[in-house]
Chain A
Amino acid sequence: MSDLRDLYQELILEHSKAPRNYRQSPAWNRKAEGFNPLCGDRFTVYLTVDGDSIRDVSFQGSGCAISKASASMMTQSVKGKSVAEAERLFESFHRLVTGVGHSNGDAQLGKLTAFSGVSEFPARVKCATLAWHTLQAALEGKQEATTE
């Protein structure tokens, strides 16, 4: 059970049950839909981008506990950040969940380190990164992201 507790940490379970920013931002100006065709997880990420700054970020959709908690915590971590900061955060997060290890230039992951256990479950990496891929697609002005 110890491995399982590494994956399903309390913080992750709590976010999956009560996701934050689970709504459509009223003044969104960019959005993208993320889809994992393998398991059917599907999220829409809404962004309110003002110049270089992410003023608001929210999401809606459905998926497993890992993907939903990741989407919830992603919205908390990138809100108020610059586009470049959000992209750096995704890079660091990606290294965390794929177990590549930290690099000196890593952004401060803060609570996102709760996802470190994902690296022991390769099949679940796509769950943890789906919302982030969707965020990236929205920032780049693409309509869709898939994990394939």
Chain B
Amino acid sequence: MSMGTKTVSGPGLDLARVRADFPILQRSIHGKPLVYLDNAATSQKPRAVIETISRYYEETNSNVHRGVHYLSEQATSDYEAVRKTAQQFLNAADSKEIIFVRGTTEGINLVAQSYGRPRLKAGDEILITQMEHHSNIVPWQILCEERGATLRAAPMNDAGELDLDRFSRLLNSKTRLVAITHVSNALGTINPIRRIVEMADGWNVPVLVDGAQAVPHMPVDVQALGCDFYTFSGHKLYGPTGIGVLYGKSALLDKMPPYQGGGDMIMSVTLEKTVYNRLPYKFEAGTPDIAGVIGLGAALRYVTSLGIENVGAHETAVLGYATSAVSAIPRLRVIGTAKEKAGVLSFTLENVHPHDIGTILDQEGIAIRTGHHCSQPVMQYFGVEATARASFALYNTKEEVDRLVRAIEKVQEVFR
């Protein structure tokens, strides 16, 4: 494996070394070295994460918050240490504001059901945007339908940037919550969350941020952003699947009823009445994904050790290189040309369906995503049924982009 070993870009990111941290990058697919460009779907896992999970099962496996025995205390202490790590990662004010969930989708559903459901009345409004992932649309549709409320979506422009003026005009005295993605999974657009929060503050409206596509690429400081809820998935951040984080301001979380009932979320139970546990346990019913949390901790430490600023700078360089490289390909259209972008390059080829692009690239060992990316309203806006999407992570190289470009040219040869 020589590819990319000479490339060092971004201050302090030694690409050869970080690539060696990811065992799967040694694989060949269809006889060619794997070029993994489907990171917005899920990222690969470094050895540190894989080994931490194995070690947990081999040495520490036990239930948390229950036992007085050694292993349970060890597992509990490892599990709770990750809450601290996540708190620092997001710069939350208090670790009790970190709730472990299955992923971004569950984080959003928790807020919809536990914050939204008791408050929402007929005629109220929830404001999202046109560039949301289905997971930040459907939970609100379900809720609005049940409560007789209205879901509004702020439009974007042809570059795939949020129209802030129209967004601000959609805020009003009936708006109960803003739910917005930090980075669009289909377009890569970075939304100006701080400004969004300031606008919403003017109406006293809380803001939930879908951070799934943002945390892998940039430092996130929830206190500086001022948002009320922020949620992300571990598996897009080099951690395991099935685990994620919901951050919520404790003033709001304290007032919210539990999302699910069960063990661990109670203080005391009689058959007549249950007293709920305090934060964050009120929202963590049942035995959690302990190995997942501990694996997530390893992923957070891994990214932090590299420096998320270094990671972001490297990815911005690779994305910029890829964008200018593919833009030179005839009959190729880049979908999503916002000034501020992270991680994602969506495109279409004239007269070639993205699915056919995906199959041909796969034969070249290149993994990309093709389809609607669970963002059908975005596809409708751009008048396409699907796009091909290359999405970048800290281990991707400019040499890999060159292989992507050559493979796209091969697609055009087949469909000439």
Contact = CB atoms under 8 A, between A and B. Distances in A.
B371 A40 contact: yes
A38 B374 CA distance: 9
B386 A39 contact: yes
A17 B351 contact: yes
B332 to A, nearest CB: 17
A126 to B, nearest CB: 10
Given A39-B386, A64-B353, A65-B353, A124 B359 contact: yes
Contact of A64 (B355, B379, B410, B414): B355
Q: Which of B352, B359, B386 gathers most chain A CB within 10 Å? A: B359
Given A39-B386, A40-B371, A40-B386, A8 B353 contact: no
A64 B359 CA distance: 11
Interface string A105-134: 000000000000000010110010000000
Contacts of B360: 4, 8
A66 B352 CA distance: 11
Q: How large is the interface on B (under 10, 10 to 19, 20 to 34, 35 or more residues)?
A: 20 to 34
Interface string A63-96: 1111010000000000000000000000000000
Interface string B397-416: 00000000000001000110
Given A4-B414, A39-B370, A40-B371, A65 B363 contact: no
Nearest to B351: A17
A39 B359 contact: no
B414 A40 contact: no
Contacts of A138: none
Interface in A1-23: 1, 3-4, 7-8, 13, 17
B415 A65 contact: yes
Contacts of B370: 39
B356 interface: yes
B371 A123 contact: no
A1 B413 CA distance: 11
A64 B379 CA distance: 16
Contacts of B414: 4, 8, 13
Interface residues of A, number: 22
Nearest to B360: A4
A1 B363 CA distance: 8
A43 B175 CA distance: 40
Contacts of B386: 39-40
Interface in A38-54: 38-42
A123 B370 CA distance: 12
Nearest to B379: A40
Interface string B380-398: 0000011000000000000
A17 B415 CA distance: 9
A121 B372 contact: no
A143 interface: no
A62 interface: yes
B363 A62 contact: no
A65 B355 CA distance: 8
Given A40-B371, A62-B385, A123 B351 contact: no
Contacts of B30: 3
Contact of A38 (B353, B354, B371, B385): B371
Given A4-B414, A121-B359, A40 B372 contact: yes
B413 to A, nearest CB: 9
Contacts of A121: 359
A103 to B, nearest CB: 28
Contact of B356 (A1, A40, A62, A65): A65
A55 to B, nearest CB: 31
Contacts of A41: 355, 385
Given A8-B414, A65-B356, A40 B385 contact: yes
Contact of A39 (B351, B352, B355): B355
A8 to B, nearest CB: 5
A124 B355 CA distance: 9
Contacts of A127: 355
Contacts of B355: 39, 41, 63-64, 66, 124, 127
A77 B386 CA distance: 29
Interface string B85-106: 0000000000000000000000
A65 B356 CA distance: 7
B80 to A, nearest CB: 40
A13 B363 contact: no
B359 to A, nearest CB: 6
Contacts of A17: 351
Contacts of A8: 356, 360, 414-415
7 contacts: A1-B363, A3-B363, A8-B356, A39-B355, A40-B386, A65-B356, A127-B355
Given A63-B353, A66-B356, 8 more contacts: A3-B30, A8-B415, A13-B414, A40-B376, A41-B385, A63-B355, A66-B355, A124-B355
Nearest 5 pairs of A and B residues by beta carbon: A64-B353, A64-B355, A40-B385, A65-B356, A64-B356
